[in-house]
Amino acid sequence: MIKTLKRIIKQDKERFAIPKGVQQVIPIRAIWPDGIFFVGNKFSKSYRFEDMNYAVASREDKEAMFLAYCELLNSLDSGATTKITIHNRRLNRLDVEDTLLIPHRQDGLDGYREEYNQMLLDKAMGANGTFQEKYITVSVVKRNVEDARQYFARIGSELMAHFSRLGSACVELDATDRLRMLHDFFRIGEEADYHFDLSATMRKGHDFKDYISPDTFEFERDYFRMGRYFGRVVFLREYASYIKDSMVAELCDLNRNLLLSLDVIPIPTDEAVREVENRLLGVETNITNWQRRQNNNNNFSAVVPYDMEQQRKESKEFLDDLTTRDQRMMFGLLTMVHIAESKEQLDNDTEALLTTARKHLCQLAPLTFQQMDGLNTVLPYGLRKVHALRTLTTESTAVFIPFRAQEVIHPGGMYYGQNVISKNMIMANRKQLLNGNSFILGVSGSGKSFTAKREIVNLVLAGDDDVILIDPEREYSALVEALGGETVHISATSPNHINAMDINRQYGDGANPIILKSEFVLSLCEQLMGGYPLGAKEKSLIDRCTAKVYRTYLQSNFKGDPPTLQHFHAELLKQSEPEAQDIALAIELFTSGSLNTFAKPTNVNVYNRLICYDILDLGKQLLPIGMLVVLDSILNRITQNRAKGKNTFIIIDEIYLLFQHEYSANFLFTLWKRVRKYGAFCTGITQNVDDLLQSHTARTMLANSEFIVMLNQASTDRMELAELLNISDLQLSYITNVDAGNGLMKVGSSLVPFTDKFPRNTKLYRLMTTKPGEG
């Protein structure tokens, strides 16, 4: 027998003691706060790792992930046993209500909150209602906990490095996290009640097992009872010669609380090669003896029997794998436990699992009179009590790949739809990303405005963040009004005015605000004077006049009314230089002429939580200036909010309009780069992706946005996006000829296919829809 395997089996042996209480079924002998458990004769530690988008990856990407996972398995230490666990957890309704639902505020919007909460509950408890967590547990025999701690520190950093190379992430679990997982399994329905404090438990002299163990345990011949639930442990008895990589995902598709564990014992290559050479020698000896017997019977043309030939071929292949194909010998054991509410349901679920395994030409079998040992094997303690090991190579172990679909469930996240593959809700928090900037892209009618409106509704109903909209198509007025917001109609004839010279103390981001404002006035004048570049003299004059008109306002410590463009025009006329008169004449139309809407004091409430700037009626002449003034007004608001510690969400519909004018494009680009440090998040909405990507500025902005919602795309746009964001052909199918509200979402480094079906018989739907006849 292989020396390493012999040693590990010897280490795994324990004296059997009949458990006299429920707590004694749990084989943990001691725990430490950093997550090290002493189980049996071993120390163990668990790590949680993130899922990856394996199911929707292209063939090339799948191969790359598979080979990277093989590398991870090859790196496992041969002195230890590694357990890879997938935990399917049913969502608890009470837990969901606590974390997901929006509390009422008695502000006149609770009717909308009621509708939104009902939609969230239906989505959470509907299609799948299960959540998957994935763990890797390493167990090793060491003399004391200090040696074990040093060992796990080394192993942990290696695992984290390998998982990050895979595109996943791995974090170590402390004692509270590990006990939470066991508590969630043993005490189904009480997940929300978990509040374990190790130091308080030690101070009171309580046993941690009292806190996590179920009320009762009864082990029968081929199933067990745990409180009011029934469970059964099955193991993989027969392996097919060829197994598809989707088998583990299909086994875990069952909509129940279940755990699937794969124990892996890696063998050092020198021992493995020696073992396989001995086996091959044995096979060759058997064939030689068989041929000698045939020759003695004068049967010189006998063909070697098929089974012997097969043994020889397989042994040679195995030896080649070990010596030339960079693989290791491993011993594997696949066990699984599933929980049901009744014995009938349990039997039906077991049959479903057995059928799934048979479909892959494998055979699962329930453990007989070994249910307790099986349970202790499948749970991520780090033990292996079932002796049904199978010899595998690295690649045949990697076939049980635990990755399937990336989930986006951020703490404090907002609802953005459902994951098409796992059917779970996508709860993203843009504040957690490297930058929270976002784009919503899609052809006309694909659901862009609806996506933006749903986000606005969520922001207004659930939080205290400010929301500012730029609406060039008058699509948002009804929603803004219903949510108690302010719509600012801007045009040459509108009674609403925004002062282009508005300024506040925080405007300069800690520096002199006049410097930043002077830059803005220069851009504005250049735009007002027909868009041709200003000379050095003109720039000096504009800078001088800007400083002068603000002097009194700054001296009064930002009290009173800020100056307007009319004051600026008057200051220009006071200058003796002829260039000043030229500038004054050029901007007269916009200061005291018929287009002077931005040269008067601000007379609208720009301090509402929800503001919509309606720019539909801005004429061709006023549009470039209007966009600059609105963006500057937004920058004013962001800097004020930053000083208050508030976040600001800016949503710009038909953003391509802003890129048609050089100054607004450059201002927007600067804003896009700087808003993150101001605690603000920009969202651009457009259907003309191709047009957008013609602008180098816009292309850079799109590449630097961490949150992109792609709905149905035109064919030219698809190719551009695939190249820019590295989207596979399979992923592209989710944005090709799909219904409204379906698409692909880029959240950080994750690409998640999503669907969003909002209930139509609600007041919110009627406010958000832009379909003719549905409003």
What CATH number matches the domain at 499-601, 1.10.3470, 1.10.8, 1.10.10, 3.40.50?
Answer: 1.10.8
Reported confidence tier of residue 509, pLDDT bands at 50, 70, 90: low
Domain extents for the chain? Answer: 3-11+26-102+109-267+328-398, 271-312, 409-495+608-769, 499-601
Q: What is each CA distance from 738 to 102, 391, 445, in whole angstroms?
A: 31, 46, 11
State the pTM of this model. 0.80
- pLDDT tens digits for 148-190? 999 999 999 999 999 998 888 899 999 999 999 999 899 888 8
- pLDDT tens digits for 432-455? 888 888 999 988 888 888 899 999
SS3 string, 392-418, reads EEHHHHHCCCCCCCCCCECCCCEEEEE
Reported confidence tier of residue 430, pLDDT bands at 50, 70, 90: confident
The most confident of the ranges 374-388, 543-557, 612-626 is 374-388
How far from chain centre, in Å, is Cα 472?
32
Residue with tokens 């506040």: 504
Reported confidence tier of residue 56, pLDDT bands at 50, 70, 90: confident
Do the beta carbons of residue 425 and residue 409 sit within 8 Å?
yes
Task: Note the pLDDT of residue 126.
Answer: 64
Q: In the predicted model, what is the mean pLDDT of the chain?
A: 85
346 CB neighbour count, 10 Å cutoff = 21
Helix (H) / strand (E) element for 178: namely helix 175-186
- pLDDT tens digits for 336-389? 999 999 999 999 999 999 999 999 999 999 999 999 999 999 999 999 999 899
103 CB neighbour count, 10 Å cutoff = 9
Do the beta carbons of residue 335 and residue 374 sit within 8 Å?
yes
Between 129-143, 309-323, 589-603, the lowest mean confidence (pLDDT) is in 589-603
Runs of H (alpha helix) within 29-109: 59-74, 93-100
Task: Note the pLDDT of residue 47.
Answer: 95
* CA pair distance 57, 180, nearest whole angstrom: 32
Query: Which 3 state secondary structure label does DSSP give 257?
Result: coil
- pLDDT tens digits for 700-722? 888 778 899 999 888 888 888 88
Task: Note the pLDDT of residue 631.
Answer: 82
**pLDDT above 90 (res 679):** no
Q: Domain 409-495+608-769: give its CATH architecture.
A: 3-Layer(aba) Sandwich (3.40)
Reported confidence tier of residue 741, pLDDT bands at 50, 70, 90: confident
Do the beta carbons of residue 657 and residue 631 sit within 8 Å?
no
